Chains A and B, each alone.
Chain A
């Protein structure tokens, strides 16, 4: 790789987003970024900075105020320090919701990834009408949740719905998919995977599209098995994309409100109450603004910790 050009720092930088990766220390690199490049970078970032402050920064500060006060949505109320946080952290409902959120996220992320990966690989091969299938398989992501949740409800809610009837005719009893706490949790997760896998499929397809196919031909000439090709060529090549899609899906799952709320409302008896559903119900149904926003904050904090961990993985994966 040539390092003689003026932008050599830039050139070496492409492998990673953060300092501390391969290719020398940050100070070394920084000094090589010309001031003109830095200026260009600033202008390129500016619109996103403005939007970030306006749409995310301001509400974040506002939420910080709400979380440390005892007011309502309309009136800030009195400053209570970290009382709301203490209140939330000592409530069993919070920990129960945290636990459900964890499972919901794990299943949501990896379930949708596995399904998406499988389908992306399958659709990458020559299949008659492959393009049509690709479009059809994106539909779960397209349908508004308020509609698809109703369709799912229609399929499973009552003993005479389609799926329970099917189970009955197969001699498997009549499972109460939404009324049994465990089955309801399974249903919510299945629904989430159903809604999310098209996003994963699209991300992985885009990543696969940029992979040079001749690599496989070379590998197969060398006698590599299909599994070897997959694990040693495909996966590393889409690793970066994969990590990013995991991080994004983690956010989508943790922050997901409508999927759960519209299918089960968080029930039965809290069985499917995630942190964001708990935050919503605390703010808008119990009218406890401070504690509810505190829940959202704690959730965000956890999310950030988890994603910084995943973020490190991205950096590692940049080292090829």
Chain B
């Protein structure tokens, strides 16, 4: 995904050039102080919010019960990679999640477009149907889905898992895409229609190419749902070499006992890819946010 949305100059056509120039000058001193004040505030909030995460990291770095190490150590992390199939689980999780994200967006974006633009009774009915049908909790769906998928030979198989994840992310993803498309004025499309574009053409050329933030939010939603699920995986996956990471976490739970150093170490492994994804995509989210510095002052 190489698309980049550029930040926009803060001045709009409605304002004279002098306006923003002037306010910016007045603001500079107080603005700077405000910036640091806000920095301290967000630092404090973040620190409090992350206490449970820090607990996780500390527990992951604390030597396990049978270890000779003292202080904090990377031993647990190296253990999960050397003594379990963590690398394979990581690969499986990545395959499952990336496939889910791509297919989910590919299904949800066109459907969301129809939900946003179409205005027949059928479309709004479908929009509601999407909602109603996915409201049944997953715990009651797993058994029938398993029986269905067993018949199709899609059990203990990542493809089966991906199909279910796409199905369960698709409904919300469609809504999220529709919400985003609503913010894109139809007037943009009208111009392309006049140029002879079809509805599909304007969808791909005009709407989609302006929807990166929406697509990314949806993708992240799908990513996290697929990345963290264990309720489906626990019933569908059997073989150690097919496990995703959340199933790997489950494998540390013995009867009435849990290898917490293993769980926490694997949890840290599980946290890293989403962090990388967020960090990479962050700049695409902040579009508009940069120019909006006056908003929350």
Q: Which residues of A contact B (CB under 8 A)?
A: 1-2, 5-7, 9-19, 21, 26, 29-30, 33, 36-38, 40-41, 43-45, 47-49, 51-52, 54-60, 62-63, 66, 73, 119, 121-131, 133-148, 150-152, 154-155, 194, 199, 202-203, 205-214, 216-218, 220-221, 226, 229, 234, 240-241, 244, 247-248, 251, 254-255, 257-258, 276, 279-280, 283-284, 292-293, 296-297, 299-300, 303-304, 307-308, 311, 318
Q: Provide the residues of chain A in CB contact with B189, threshold 8 Å.
A: 7, 11
Is there an interface contact between A139 and B119, defined as CB atoms closer than 8 Å? no
**Which secondary structure characterizes the binding site on chain A?**
helix
**Could you give, for residues 113-153 of chain B, a 1 whenever the CB lies within 8 Å of some chain A CB and a 0 otherwise?**
11111111101101111111111111111011100100000
Residue of B49, B194, B286 touching A5 (CB-CB under 8 A): B194
State A297–B118 Cα separation when bound (angstroms). Answer: 30
Q: Say whether A60 contacts B136, CB under 8 Å.
A: yes
Contact flags B203-245 to A (C-beta < 8 A → 1, else 0): 1000000000110110011001001101100000000000000
Beta-carbon contact of B199 and A7 below 8 Å = yes
| Cα–Cα, bound, A42→B71 (Å) | 62
B102 located at the interface, meaning its Cβ lies under 8 Å from any Cβ of chain A in the complex: no
Given A45-B111, A48-B108, A59-B145, A124 contacting B271 (CB threshold 8 A): no
Residues of B with Cβ closer than 8 Å to A?
Answer: 8, 10-12, 14-15, 19-20, 23, 31, 34-36, 38-39, 41-43, 45-46, 49-53, 55-56, 59, 106-108, 110-111, 113-121, 123-124, 126-141, 143-145, 148, 163-164, 166-168, 170-172, 174-176, 178-180, 182-183, 185-187, 189-190, 193-194, 198-200, 203, 213-214, 216-217, 220-221, 224, 227-228, 230-231, 246, 249-250, 260, 263-264, 267, 270-271, 274-275, 278-279, 282-283, 285-289, 291-297
Residues of A within 8 A of B59 (CB): 151, 154
Choose among B117, B136, B213, B278 the residue that contacts A138 (Cβ–Cβ < 8 A).
Answer: B278
Instruction: Given A14-B182, A45-B126, check contact A119 B293 (CB 8 Å).
Output: no
When the two chains form their complex, are residues B108 and A208 in contact, meaning their CB atoms are under 8 A apart?
A: no
Task: Describe B's contact surface by its main secondary structure.
Answer: helix
A47-B107, A60-B133, A125-B34 are known; give 14 further A-B pairs, CB within 8 A: A10-B119, A14-B186, A125-B38, A125-B293, A133-B46, A135-B275, A140-B53, A143-B52, A146-B230, A148-B56, A206-B213, A206-B214, A209-B287, A296-B136
Determine if B285 and A296 form an interchain contact, defined as CB atoms under 8 angstroms apart: no
Given contacts A45-B111, A45-B114, A55-B168, contact A214 B275 (CB under 8 A): no
With A and B bound together, what is the CA distance between A172 and B20 in angstroms? 51
- Complex contacts, B45 vs chain A, CB 8 Å: 119, 137
**When A47-B107, A62-B144, A255-B135 are in contact, do A220 and B294 touch as well, CB less than 8 Å?**
yes
